[in-house]
Structures are given as C-alpha cells and as structure tokens.
Chains A and B, each alone.
Chain A
Amino acid sequence: MSKGVQIALGAGVCALLLGWYANTVLDEGATLTYYQTLEEFLAAPESAGSRPARVHGFVATGSIDRDVGAKVVRFRVQSQPPHAGVRPGGGLSVEYASLEVPDMFKDGAEVVIEGRLAHTGDARVFHATNLLAKCPSKFEAKLEDRASL
C-alpha cells in the first residue's frame, strides 16, 4: 500500500469517527437552532412549535415591559423596523426569562431571539432563553442626514 493511500485511509477513518461523534452530539438536539426571520417563522407554525428556533425581528416601539417581580422582560417583535410603518398589533409576543438584557436592547432594536414557541389557549408567546440585540445601523444613516443639511 502506498503512503498516499495509507494517509487517505487514516484521514478517512478519522473523519468518519469525527462525523459519527458530531452526529450523536447534534442528535441531542439542544445545539441545533434554526435561524429564521419573523415572517418565515410565523408562516410555518407547525414546525416552529416543536423545535428550538432563532428568530430575527425588530422590537415594537413602546412594547418593552420589565417585570422585576416575575424576573421576565416582555416585549413584541415585528418583522420591519418600527419606522417602516407596520401596523401595531402584528408580530409576536415574547417573554424573555431574565432581567438581564443586552445593552443594545431597546425600542426599534434589531434582535435575534432564541427559544421555543408556546401556546397558552389562543395566545402564542415565544419563550426566549437567549436574546441578542444589534445596534440599529444609525451610524451610516446619521452621517447622510447631517451631511445633507
């Protein structure tokens, strides 16, 4: 057997082992999350209910409610930035199981919520275990605003 074949065989066996191990890790489910925009998420509710999801949206203006007693933060997300003129009431209610929110989290912020959808009666509430927020990209926008004064 030539050296090249030996190396290829060795690498193949290692890759298979690694792949098998990766597969068992991933099968436990907790580490795989599906990244979707809010629209995609709402369009596929049956699959959305059963598995952990990572949903991208924007915080609806005035919807943030810190419940210090219950140690949760409730808010709504919508699929467009608030100033884009989306009618209020649309979107999805979120309950985030912590009082610790990212610094960028505020009205209109672009967020990614991680967790699962829960149905209580008619109401659908997304129970988020993790919350990521991005600064609205005001830096670029503001320069143009000011430069055109």
Chain B
Amino acid sequence: MSDIGYFALQLALAFSLVGFGWGIYASLDPRPERTRVLERLLLAVSGFTTLAITALFVAFATFDFQLEYVASHSARSMPLHYRLGALWGGQEGSLLLWLFMLCAYGAAAVFVHHRSSRALMPWVCTVLLANCAFFLVLINFTSNPFDKIPTGHVLSDGQGLNPLLQHPAMMIHPLFLYLGFVGFAVPFAFALAALLSGALDASWFRVTRRWTLIPWFFLSIGIILGGRWAYEVLGWGGYWAWDPVENASFMPWLAATAYLHSVMIQEKRDMLKIWNMALIGLTYALCLFGTFLTRSGIVQSVHAFAQTEWFGTIFLSYVLVTSLVFFAALYARRGRLRTPHRIESIASREAGFLINNWVFMAILLVVFWGTLFPVFSEALTGSQITVGPQFFNTMAGPLALFLLFLTGVGPLIAWRRSSLTSLRRQFVWPGIAGLLTAALLPVFGLAGSFYSHVAFSLGAFVMATIAQEYWRAIRVRMRSHAETPLAALGTLLRKNQQRYGGYIIHLGAVFVLLGAAGSAFNEELLQNVAPGDAIELRDYRIEYLTARPIPAQHYGGAVARLALYRRDEPLATMVPEKREYWLEEQPSSVPSIYSTLREDLYVILTAIEPDGSATLKVYCNPLVNWIWIGALAFVVGTAVVVWPHPARTTG
C-alpha cells in the first residue's frame, strides 16, 4: 500500500508539471476543449494526491513501521484516532495534508465554476497547478512521508507521538487551520486569473468573496481551537501567548478580515478595486509566509520544527515569487481597475470601512514587526532581541478597542453620507447603553483595568447597536407583513443573509474580545498543600484529598483528587493529572478546569513532592468561556451568510 502512495505522489508531480505547461498554453489561447483537458489534469492530480494521503492513513492504521514517518510519529499503544491524527504530527505529513487540501479546494472550484467562470478557468487551473507542483516537488524530493527505513532493519514498534499532540483538539485544530490557510489559494487563483486574463468585470470579485469567506471561517475557528488546545494542554492557564506560530496564523486572518469588509465598498460603490486585489494577494502571501515561519525555524517558538536551512530558502523563494507575480500583474492592470468614484463624506459607511481597513493593517504591521523583531535586530545589531507579549498587548490592544468601536459605528451610518438627524436617531440608544455601562462598572467594582473598562463599555455599545438593528428590522416586517417576531427574524436572515449573518459574526467578535478583556481580572496562586489542607482563592476553597497513581497503558504518573467548594457549598471534584508518557519519555500536566459562564477555575498539579504534599497552581480566569461561545457565534453567523439561497445563487 505504501508503494502505491509513493508512486501516486510521483504521478501527481508529473501530471502537475504537464498540467502547468498545458495551462500556460491553454490560457494564452483559450479554447473550450483545451480548458476541459486542463480541468481534467487538475482533477487527475487531485485523484493521485487523494490516493497518496489515503495510503498514508492506511499505513498509520496498520502499523506500517517500514515507513520512517510512521515509525517516528506513532506507536502500537496509541488508539486509532490518535494514529490517524499523527499524520499531521510532523513536517512530511503536514505538507501532504496541505497539498491534499489544495487539491480538494481546486477540484471543488472546478466543479462549482467550470460553467459560470469560463473566461477565468484556464488561468485559475494553471495557478492552482503551479502551487500543487511546488508542493509536490517539495514532498517528493525533500520530505517524502513514504521514505522507508534502510532495508534489513525491522522495527517492532514506533516511537510514539509528542504527548502534547495526543489531544482531541489536535485532531481537528490543524485541519481547520489548514482548511483556512490553503483555502485562500482559491480566491488568490481567481484574482490572479482575472488580472492575467484581463477579464476584470464583476464576476471575479463575486467568486473571490464567497471563496474567501469559507477559508476565513475555517481559519477563525482553527485559531480559536488552537487557543483551546493551548488552554487545556499546555497548562499555563492561558490561551494566547503571541507566539510566532500563533502570529503566523493571525496575520493572514487580519488581511482576510480587512478584505471581507472592504469588498463591500466595491460591491456597493464600485470602489477600492486595486486595494481589494492587493488584500487578496497579501492574504495568500501571508499564509505562505506563515507556513515558512513555522517550518523554517527562523524565530524561536514553542512550535519550532528546526529545519535545514535550504528548506527555508526554497520556501521563502516560493513566497517571494508568488507575491511578485501577483503584484506585478496587479501593477500592470492598475489602469483598468481605477474607478471615478470618490468617498463623499467622512460620515459615511465607506469611510468607516476604510478606517476599519487601516486599523486592520496597523494591527497586522504590529504583529509582523513584533514577530520578526528578533530577525531584524539580529541583522542590525548582531544580537537577537525579542519582544514579549506585553509589546503586542500594549500595541494591538488600543487598536483592537478602536476596531470594536467601529464595529458598533459602521452599521449605524449610511452609505455615501449620513445626515445629522439620522445619526442622532441611530446613536441614541446604543450610546446610552455604552455610557451607562461605563458609569456603572466602577460602582460594582467590575471595571478592572483601563482597557477592560473601555472594552466592556464598547462591548455594551456594540451589542446594543446589533440589538437595535435586529429590533427595528423585525418591527418593520411585523407591521408591513403582519408577521410574528420569529417569522420576521427568519425572513430577515433569509432575505439579507450578508447583513444579518454578519451581525451575528460581529456578536461573536465582541464575545471573544470580552473574554480576552476578562483577563484583567485573572488571579493565580501557587501553593504547596498537605493532604487534608486547602487552598483559598476568591470565594473558592480547594481541598487536597489524595493522590494516586494513574493506571493507564500508555502513560503513568499521578492524579490528585481535590474537592472544590464555593464558600461551603460543594461544587465539584477536580482531578488534575501529572502524566509521564513511557515511550516518549515525556511528562505532561493535564489541568482540571471547573468552568462557568462567569469564570474558570483552573488547577494544575505541578508536582507530588516526596513528603506526599502536592504543589498546585490555581488560576481564576473570568469570562474565558465567552471566547468559545464567540466561536460558536462565528459558526452560526457564517452559516447564515453562506447558506445557499435560490434567489442569490446566481453567478
């Protein structure tokens, strides 16, 4: 079976190279039959890649330790789901997964658009095939997961997988992240196809918009799942550390989010076309750059896979060439993308969107600068200087709050120009909600830091604007169509998916920011307790009962039993573990979390000391749950926006 995978990858490479050559030919002088051949070549590459990844899954499932990759990333004691998840536990498999998703997206784009976007299809296929070819070269010649260990050596068992990766979130977090990263190849291909072919009518941006929303959604969820994994596995009580790898996934998200906003100006006012193109190019370039950052190990990171230098060089050249081609094409076509329209007033929605874009770009600049600061400083001064999370928080914090403010303002101001009366009518209630919150928080001692105070007040303001938007629209329908409130809500969501789905996504963003602002109230405590003794934090009392060994097959260690009380009311039994993975020779702390909408109580068993006492680290993290709830709102909101609707699925 592994031989099939090996040859499938070689065939895929051959087909992708042939396809790329044919693509150039078919694109320069497009004819229907040539395009059809080209589409089939892309589908063939997808087929072979699917075969290869299936073969690798089978190898993991059947303990094929002949393969070096399988032997070094799995073991017999691992359950099947973790063995399958181990496919993306290392570089070779990750690259294959990337390629597979690129093919899947490419095939989907061909199926959906081969009729509707005839003029763009040749270049779309060519661009996608070029990307496939690059990854196939990389996989076949530098990181082949089907490489075998030298003949004559037999391994009875593999070496297992890093225990930190043996977690349910690690089964899906990389999948979502890759579905996000790779998916941006489709809008990129359509945009570049429009530039190269000169078919710059409205169709390219309608297609790219929809195809941006899908990977944007996966990337959003992927990032949040990564945070969840860090929170539950890494055991430091937090979910986001501004680690270079986290930043690498955050940067394309910022560019894509900016695009999803500014594309609305293009839709409504036919403006900013060059800028939108640039954002698509930037998003994909940042995806590739992020992969380079993660894989080349040029910046120190918890995720850093130290790699050979030339791997980084090849990958960086690929990033640069891709960006260069795109931006050169954009420059060449800039004349045809210009527009006579101008922004008429600062009190207009398009001005709001424009400022929103500037803020996104500013945050992007901050993250980029901070992430690469060690590289810049080493080049300039000879010593690596890193900037801590404090840098990112202080720099990006105010920008994020400003963005939150705009989230509330944007929907309230009209296109082109808002009159003073309409501004007053729109802003009265949300303004009151925000100011009232700002005034009341300190009274109840809930203001926290300056940032959290502002964040909560703005959050109230934004939620009030969203509620007002829904309420007014529902009321109008109830009056004009005599609908019940619920029916009116349903009609709204169907009739204006983008707008009302978008508001749900905004609500999710507010939840995530509120959850982050809750960290202003975090408390932590490290304490050594003897059995029977208790730790007190806020209202909570945590009593250490006993510790006993873990009787698991794959790992040993200790589990502590703790009784959790609020005042004298018993709440839960907490069981933080300190595991020792035998095969991997690596310990792993598994926190126990008591989670409510108000706050999380998070306990880590740091150590069982020789005298039988336990050293516990306890965190009280308010509002963390709202981050995950925000993710759910993203899911619901995106579903509303992309839900197929008969009247709208034209073009």
By a beta-carbon cutoff of 8 Å, the part of chain A in contact with chain B is 10, 14-15, 18, 21-22, 25-26, 30-36, 40, 54, 66, 68, 71, 98-101, 103-104, 106, 112, 132, 135, 137-140, 142-143, 146-149
Contact = CB atoms under 8 A, between A and B. Distances in A.
26 contacts: A21-B395, A22-B366, A22-B369, A25-B390, A25-B395, A26-B391, A30-B388, A30-B390, A31-B394, A32-B387, A32-B388, A33-B385, A33-B386, A36-B384, A40-B383, A71-B526, A99-B606, A100-B606, A103-B235, A103-B586, A103-B588, A132-B302, A139-B72, A140-B72, A143-B72, A147-B150
Contacts of A36: 383-384
Contacts of A98: 526
Interface in B382-429: 383-388, 390-391, 394-395
Given A54-B386, A143-B72, A18 B155 contact: no
Contacts of A101: 606
B540 to A, nearest CB: 19
Top 6 closest pairs, chain A to chain B, by CB = A35-B384, A31-B391, A31-B390, A103-B587, A31-B388, A100-B606
A18 B365 contact: yes
A100 B373 CA distance: 29
A66 B587 contact: no
B242 to A, nearest CB: 11
A140 B72 CA distance: 8
Contacts of B604: 100
Contact of A22 (B235, B395, B526, B589): B395
A132 B301 CA distance: 10
B266 interface: no
B246 to A, nearest CB: 15
Interface stretch (B36-44, B467-475, B607-615, B625-633): B607-615
B65 to A, nearest CB: 10
Contacts of B72: 139-140, 143
Interface residues of B, number: 43
Contacts of B589: 103
Contacts of A99: 526, 528, 606-607, 615
Contact of A139 (B159, B387, B613): B159
A16 to B, nearest CB: 12
A3 to B, nearest CB: 9
B637 to A, nearest CB: 30
Contact of B617 (A31, A100, A106, A148): A100
Interface string B419-450: 00000000000000000000000000000000
Contacts of A14: 358, 362
A146 B155 contact: yes
B585 A66 contact: no
A103 B606 CA distance: 9
Contact of B162 (A31, A33, A132, A135): A135
A14 B365 CA distance: 11
B374 interface: yes
Contacts of B366: 18, 22
Nearest to B615: A99
B interface: dominant SS: mixed
Contacts of B369: 22
Contacts of B159: 139, 142-143
Nearest to B90: A139
Given A33-B386, A68-B609, 19 more contacts: A14-B362, A18-B362, A18-B366, A22-B366, A26-B391, A30-B390, A31-B391, A32-B385, A35-B384, A36-B383, A40-B383, A71-B526, A99-B615, A100-B606, A137-B306, A140-B72, A143-B68, A143-B159, A146-B155
B153 interface: yes
B300 interface: yes
B18 interface: no
A66 B362 contact: no
Contacts of B192: none
Interface in B593-612: 604, 606-607, 609
A21 B399 CA distance: 12
A86 B199 CA distance: 67
Contacts of A18: 362, 365-366, 395
B346 interface: no
B343 to A, nearest CB: 11
Contact of A100 (B374, B385, B526): B526
Contacts of B391: 22, 25-26, 31
Nearest to B342: A3
A5 to B, nearest CB: 15
B43 to A, nearest CB: 37
B15 to A, nearest CB: 33
Contacts of B385: 32-35
A54 B374 CA distance: 12
Contacts of B487: none
Interface string B299-313: 010100010000000
Interface string B365-387: 11001000010000000011111
A43 to B, nearest CB: 12
A105 B422 CA distance: 62
Indicate the member of A33, A106, A142 with the most B CB atoms within 10 Å.
Answer: A33
Contacts of A106: 587
A122 to B, nearest CB: 27
A144 B395 CA distance: 46
Contacts of B68: 143
B71 interface: yes
Contacts of B153: 146-149
Contacts of A132: 302
A55 to B, nearest CB: 11
Contacts of A68: 528, 609, 613, 615
A31 to B, nearest CB: 4
Contacts of B585: 138
A147 B158 CA distance: 11
